[in-house]
Chains A and B, each alone.
Chain A
Amino acid sequence: MPTAALLTVVGRANRLIDVLARGMNRCAGWMFVLCAFFITFDVLARKFLGFSSQSTTELSGYFLGVGIAWGLAGALEARTHVRIDILIQKVPPKYRGYLHWVALALLAVFAGFLVYGAWHTTMESWDFKATDNSLLKTPLIIPQGLWLIGIGVFGVMAVLRVVEVTLLLPKGDIDAIEHLTGPRTYVEEAEEALEAIGSAQHLVEKGSDKPGQKPGAPA
């Protein structure tokens, strides 16, 4: 297959997994919301109603583990995973692409080890029919299976990214590469916080509590 066609295919696969990653990230976020309500309920019930699920510690731990795993791909898509970028910014664009490739490739290798480790652990729990020590005796295969799925998608995404960047490298398309993998700058991070406030501001104006207070548009 010629490179151009291959690039189109890989690009499509990447855009597809992007959608999946965003969906999974949203699930992860709502798991944390749910977790907050669950723990609150347990605390209040313990205090005022005299009972508790007695499994808060384990269950909210699973929420966290699975939440992290399901957020991994979304964070890669949004380029939230942190890189040290002081030196890479000073490298001329011609060579920068190769450094991005190295960074991504190492991430994919690390993800590979994580997938292997998660697979091994999950299979062990499956073989031994392992449960936790809480009152619910949760079979570990449930949280660990979900956890494995999250890490697995992250691993696949990392590999797909490596392939796409590999194909983009000969074209010298540094903008496309950095759009996929470039480290987020402090300015971008600040903009995200500003956007969040912007949405609050929008609601304020609609509620006409205090009109005319604009924090200023993102730079």
Chain B
Amino acid sequence: MIAVLFLVVLLVVSMAAVLFGGGSVAELPLAQILVLIALFCLFFGAGIYIAAALGILGIIAGFAFSTRPFWDFIGQMVWGPTTNFVLVAVPLFLLMGEIMLRAGLSDKLYKSLNLWFQRVPGGLLHTNIASCSVFSAISGSSVATAATMGAVALPYFKTTAYSPSMVLGSLAAGGALGNLIPPGITFIVYGLITETSVGKLYLAAVGPSILVVVLFTAVILVHGLRNPLPQPEKIPLSVKLKGLVDLIPTVILILIVLGTIYTGLATPTESAALGVVASIVFAAISGRFSWKMLNESAEATARTTAFVGLILCGAYVLNYIFGSLGVPQALAKFVSSLPVPPWVIMALIIGFYLALGTFMEGFSMIVTTIPVIFPVVKALGYDPIWFGVIVTMLVEIALISPPDGTVLYVLQGMRGTPGPITDVFRGVIPFMVVYVLAIIILMLVPELALWLPRVSQ
């Protein structure tokens, strides 16, 4: 409800800006754009398939404004992007995530990290964040991260006095690192649509990832100091060091996937392929490989890829027609001529995404909005790489924002002791707040993201 209210306010504000701002209103086909926006709202309200809403909107706009036989190009509009080598990384990273979800590679990771954290205030909760962060460095999917680590972590809390909502909240928050910590799927889709280098996006994500992990750790530390629990017995250093041996498979996977990308040995698509093969090998070594499991992973991957692909098809039809009509350019020109400083518009864009995120799933959010918003962001003078990181963070927040976040329901379904879903909601809120704080910090200090891609050139 808050989200809808925000969208309405945004509309009113932009209308007011149009009325009082002057600028280049005359150049903008305002009436047509308003009709399109109205249609868009209607489509979404009626629960139309997102892909169809985008595609049909494009086709209507084409029939209304275009003089060319655009329908003959639909095949080309769709064939090009859906056979793009960059996009091949998406099903491959999804497949890798599905395999790891079923292979249970994560329990040893959790156990060995736990040895190091259990005496810190906040104890096991730190292990949740730490193991999710490490797992995120091999997985590009947030749901897979939360589900995999949740399955391992929750049994550890069964007989403890930890606050259940904090346990679930920290795991959900840890899941929300899945896409931000490279390699993430969101970056690939963003890179494809905006023609930005995925490798650079991955480099830019390093700083913000560390920032978010530090902020999450701070939340847990504060919680741990406020609600002290009896300290478990001290573990000798030799045991701790021995435990590190269990991290080896994970470290090898990270080297294979991220190592090859960062050293320039492989493109993200190639490293995703290597990751798939490596995760199958590790599943086989740990005795959890079966053809049934691989088949299930493959089918789940195909379904997800198809839905992402169809939305991309719709978006590309819409883009083609919008592009040939010059809508994004006109919008960009109009917004940059508004008499407000760029950061106000950026804040509005971020607020818009936060609102959208409460009811829309991440992929759809990006594919639907980026083609229109990206030219505006560029016209305002913001760095495309920086904005890619911001958008990915916003998508992650969307995944854990109550009441509609897949990650939250995954954890609710896994908890051993029954309780209301509001436990999860309550637990995740502090993490969401610091996530938003991280975005604000990144707005104030863009170098946090942009430094690494620049020096590595």
Contact = CB atoms under 8 A, between A and B. Distances in A.
Interface of A: 25-26, 28-33, 35-40, 43, 47, 56-57, 60-65, 67-72, 74-75, 78, 80-88, 99-100, 102-103, 106-107, 109-110, 113-114, 116-122, 143-144, 147, 183, 186-187, 189-194, 196-197, 199-201, 203-204, 207, 209-210, 213-216, 218-219
Contact of B74 (A29, A80, A99, A113): A113
Contacts of A84: 44-45, 47-48, 50, 359-360
A116 to B, nearest CB: 7
| Contact residues of B: prevailing secondary structure | helix
Given A33-B298, A86-B359, A106-B56, A117 B47 contact: no
17 contacts: A25-B306, A28-B306, A29-B298, A39-B274, A72-B309, A74-B306, A85-B47, A106-B43, A106-B56, A116-B74, A118-B78, A118-B79, A120-B74, A193-B101, A194-B413, A199-B292, A215-B150
A118 B272 CA distance: 29
Contacts of A100: 47
A103 B151 CA distance: 36
Interface residues of B, number: 97
Nearest to B271: A43
B68 to A, nearest CB: 14
Nearest to B287: A207
B83 A64 contact: yes
A39 to B, nearest CB: 4
Contact of B88 (A30, A64, A191, A200): A64
A47 to B, nearest CB: 8
A29 B301 contact: yes
B101 to A, nearest CB: 5
A65 B74 contact: no
Given A193-B143, A194-B147, A61 B83 contact: yes
A191 B82 contact: no
A120 B78 CA distance: 12
A26 B52 contact: no
A67 B305 contact: yes
Given A40-B273, A114-B74, A121-B75, 4 more contacts: A60-B85, A120-B72, A187-B409, A193-B144
B14 interface: no
Given A43-B266, A103-B48, A190-B413, A29 B299 contact: yes
Contacts of B305: 28, 32, 64, 67-68, 71
B49, B103, B295, B359 interface centre (most CB from chain A within 10 Å): B49
Interface string B142-175: 0110011011101100000000000000000000
B49 A82 contact: yes
Interface in B104-157: 104, 107, 143-144, 147-148, 150-152, 154-155
Interface in B45-83: 45-53, 55-56, 59, 71-79, 82-83
